[in-house]
C-alpha cells in the first residue's frame, strides 16, 4: 500500500485527535501503510522512534481527549533546508509519499515549501548516496493535504477551524460562572480571551454571554472609547443591571495599533465609575478539556476528506487544505488560503480594517 503519515504541528487544539483518528482509519481502510509522526516537524526531522506504525487500535479511545496524543512542537530545524533534507530522508526511507499536516498557517506554509523542494531534496540525497536511484524514482512526488487546527478560527478559506467550537464552550462556561458571582456583588468583570490577530472568540463569546462591551483587533475603537464605555455602563447600571461583562481579545488594539489590555480597561472603569472591577485571564483553560461534538465531527470529516484528497492526487495537483464551507467538507488550494490569511494580517498591520474584515470572508 501507499505510505501515508500524519503529524500535528504548532499550537494544539481540541479535535486534533478526532482528525488523527480519521486519517489513520481512512488510510487503513483504503489500503495505505499508515504512520504517526510524533512531535510535529521535529519528529519528522529526527526520525527514529518518532515515526511509528499506526494501526486501527492505536487510535482507539482518543476521540474524546483534548490536545493531540501524537504531540506537537515548534521546530526551528524544519525552517532550514538542512532540516528538511533529514525529514525527506526519513520519509523516503519508509516509503512515505503522502503527508497529512494538522496545524496553523505557519505549519501549512512549511508543508508547502517541503513539497516544492521535494525533488531537489531527493536529488541531493541520491547524490550523497543516502537513497538509491530507484528510491528517487519511486518516491519522486510528495502529496500533501492540510487541515487547520486552531482555537482562534484565524484561517481564511474555512468557516471553522478545528478547536474553535470547544474553546468557545470553555469560555462561555467560565463567563457563566463569573456572571453568577458578579451578580451577587454588583461587580464588573473584564475577561481576556485568546485571539492574537483574530477576534472571533471574543466576538462570539460576547454574543453568547450578553457582554456589554467587546474589544477585538478587527474593529479598533475610536480614541474616545473610555467615555463611551463608561457612559454605556452607567446607563445600564441605572436601568437596574447588577453587573457588567467586558470581553477583551488578547490582540485588541486601538486605531493607532496600540494594544488595549484588560488592565487599560479596568483602569478606566475604576477611575471613572469607581466600580468593583476584576480581571480574569482565561489563558490555556481555553485550549484544554474535551472537544465538543462539533469539533469531533469536524475532525472526523476533515481527516477522512484529507486522505481521499491524497489518494486522488496526481503528480501535478496542488496541495489542498480541507475546509468547511457551509456544511460541506471541501478542498481548497493550500497556498491560496495561506496567502489570504497573511493578507489579512498585513491589512490589519497597515490599519486597513475594512479590507482585513473583507479578506477574512466568512470566518
Ligand atoms: P502555526 O502552524 O500554529 O501557525 P508556527 O507558525 O509556529 O505555528 O509554525 C509551526 C512550525 O511550522 C514551525 O515551528 C516550523 O517548524 C514550521 N514552519 C512555520 N513556518 C515555516 C516556514 N516558512 N518554512 C518552514 N517551516 C515553517
As a whole number of Å, the end-to-end CA separation of the chain is: 37
Residues 1-11 pLDDT 10s: 899 999 999 99
Q: Please tell me the pTM assigned to this model.
A: 0.95
User: How far is 130 from 119, CA to CA, in rounded Å?
Assistant: 14
Beta-carbon contacts of 155 under 8 Å, excluding residues fewer than 6 positions away, are 104, 105, 148, 161, 321, 337, 341, 363
Beta strand ranges found along the chain (DSSP E): 3-8, 33-37, 51-53, 96-103, 143-148, 188-193, 213-215, 244-249, 277-281, 320-325, 328-333
77 is catalytic: no
- Ligand 1 mean position, distance from CA 266 (Å): 35
d(CA 61, CA 16): 13
Which of 7, 42, 46, 78 is the pocket-test mutation for ligand 1 (most atoms within 8 Å of CB)? 78
* C-alpha 106 to ligand 1 mean position (Å): 4
Residues 6+ apart with CB under 8 A from 274: none
Residue 219 corresponds to which cell in the numbers above? 474593529
Q: Which three cell numbers stand for residue 280?
A: 480574569
Among 46, 152, 165, 295, which one carries the catalytic annotation? 152
Q: Ligand 1 centroid to 8 CA: how many Å?
A: 11
Query: Helices marked H in 223-333 — which ranges?
Result: 225-238, 262-273, 293-312
Between the alpha carbon of residue 341 and those of residues 77, 78, 110, 292, 357, the distances in Å are 24, 21, 15, 25, 11
Question: Which atom number of ligand 1 is nearest to the Cα of residue 78?
Answer: 16
The pLDDT value given to residue 363: 47
What would the grid cell of residue 120 be?
A: 531537489
- What are the residues whose beta carbons fall under 8 Å from the beta carbon of 115, sequence distance 6 or more? 142, 143, 144, 319
Q: Considering just the CA atoms, what is the radius of gyration of the chain in Å?
A: 23
- Ligand 1 pocket mutation pick from 79, 82, 144 by most atoms within 8 angstroms of CB: 79
Atom of ligand 1 nearest to the CA of 42: 16
Alpha carbon of 84 to ligand 1 centroid (Å): 12
Helix (H, G, I), strand (E, B) or coil at 327: coil
- Tell the residue nearest (CA) to atom 9 of ligand 1: 106
What are φ and ψ of residue 153, in 5° steps?
55, 45
Q: Considering only CA atoms, which residue is closest to atom 21 of ligand 1?
A: 110
Task: Give the DSSP letter of residue 98.
Answer: E
| Ligand 1 nearest atom to the CA of residue 108, by list position | 2
Q: Whose CA is nearest to atom 1 of ligand 1?
A: 104
* Pairing between β-strand 328-333 and β-strand 320-325 as defined by DSSP bridges: antiparallel
Measured CA to CA, the distance from residue 150 to residue 158 in angstroms comes to 12
In the three-class reduction of DSSP (H, G, I as helix; E, B as strand; rest coil), residue 214 is classed as strand
Identify the residues whose C-beta falls under 6 Å from ligand 1: 9-11, 41, 74-75, 78-79, 103-107, 109-110, 113
Q: What whole-number distance in Å separates Cα of residue 164 and Cα of residue 100? A: 20
Q: Which residue's alpha carbon is nearest to atom 23 within ligand 1?
A: 110
User: How many Å lie between the centroid of ligand 1 and the Cα of residue 214?
Assistant: 30
Residue 238's contacts (CB-CB under 8 Å, 6 or more residues apart) are: none
Q: pLDDT tens digits, the chain, 363 residues: what are they?
A: 899 999 999 999 999 999 999 999 999 999 999 999 999 999 999 999 999 999 999 999 999 999 999 999 999 999 999 999 999 999 999 999 999 999 999 999 999 999 999 999 999 999 999 999 999 999 999 999 999 999 999 999 999 999 999 999 999 999 999 998 888 988 999 999 999 889 999 999 999 999 999 999 999 999 999 999 999 999 999 999 999 999 999 999 999 999 999 999 999 999 999 999 999 999 999 999 999 999 999 999 999 999 999 999 999 999 999 999 999 999 999 999 999 999 998 998 888 988 888 888 754
pLDDT in tens, 204-262: 999 999 999 999 999 999 999 999 999 999 999 999 999 999 999 999 999 999 999 99
Taking the CA of residue 150 as reference, the ligand 1 atom at the shortest distance is 3
| 105 CA → ligand 1 middle, Å | 7
Amino acid at each position: 500500500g501507499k505510505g501515508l503519515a500524519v503529524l500535528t504541528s504548532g499550537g494544539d487544539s481540541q479535535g486534533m485527535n478526532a482528525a488523527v483518528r480519521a486519517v489513520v482509519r481512512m488510510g487503513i481502510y483504503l489500503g495505505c501503510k499508515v504512520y504517526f509522526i510524533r512531535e510535529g516537524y521535529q519528529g519528522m526531522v529526527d526520525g527514529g522512534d518518532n515515526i511509528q506504525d499506526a494501526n486501527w487500535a492505536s487510535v482507539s479511545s482518543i476521540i474524546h481527549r483534548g490536545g493531540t496524543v501524537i504531540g506537537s512542537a515548534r521546530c526551528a530545524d524544519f525552517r532550514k533546508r538542512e532540516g528538511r533534507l533529514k525529514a525527506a530522508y526519513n520519509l523516503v526511507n519508509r516509503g512515505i509519499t503522502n503527508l497529512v499536516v494538522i496545524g496553523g498557517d505557519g505549519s501549512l506554509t512549511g508543508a508547502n515549501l517541503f513539497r516544492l523542494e521535494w525533488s531537489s531534496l531527493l536529488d541531493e540525497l541520491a547524490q550523497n548516496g543516502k537513497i538509491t536511484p530507484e528510491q528517487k524514482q519511486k518516491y519522486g512526488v510528495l502529496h500533501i493535504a492540510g487541515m487547520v487546527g486552531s482555537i482562534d478560527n484565524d484561517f481564511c478559506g474555512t468557516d471553522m477551524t478545528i478547536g474553535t467550537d470547544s474553546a468557545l464552550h470553555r469560555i462561555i462556561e467560565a463567563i457563566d460562572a463569573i456572571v453568577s458571582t458578579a451578580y451577587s456583588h454588583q461587580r464588573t468583570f473584564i475577561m481576556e480571551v485568546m485571539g492574537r490577530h483574530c477576534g472571533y472568540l471574543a466576538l462570539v463569546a460576547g454574543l453568547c454571554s450578553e457582554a456589554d462591551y467587546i474589544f477585538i483587533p478587527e474593529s479598533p475603537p475610536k480614541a474616545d472609547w473610555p467615555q463611551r464605555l463608561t457612559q454605556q455602563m452607567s446607563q445600564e447600571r441605572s436601568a437596574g443591571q447588577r453587573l457588567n461583562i467586558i470581553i477583551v481579545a488578547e490582540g485588541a488594539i486601538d486605531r493607532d495599533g496600540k494594544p488595549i489590555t484588560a488592565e487599560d480597561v479596568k483602569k478606566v472603569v475604576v477611575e471613572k465609575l469607581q466600580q468593583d472591577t476584576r480581571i480574569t485571564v482565561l489563558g490555556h483553560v481555553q485550549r484544554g478539556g474535551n472537544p465538543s461534538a462539533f469539533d469531533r465531527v469536524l475532525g472526523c470529516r476533515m481527516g477522512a476528506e484529507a486522505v481521499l484528497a491524497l489518494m486522488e492526487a496526481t503528480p501535478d495537483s496542488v496541495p489542498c487544505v480541507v475546509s468547511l464551507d457551509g456544511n460541506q467538507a471541501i478542498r481548497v488550494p493550500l497556498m491560496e488560503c495561506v496567502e489570504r490569511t497573511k493578507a489579512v494580517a498585513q491589512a490589519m498591520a497597515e490599519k486597513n480594517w475594512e479590507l482585513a474584515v473583507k479578506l477574512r470572508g466568512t470566518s
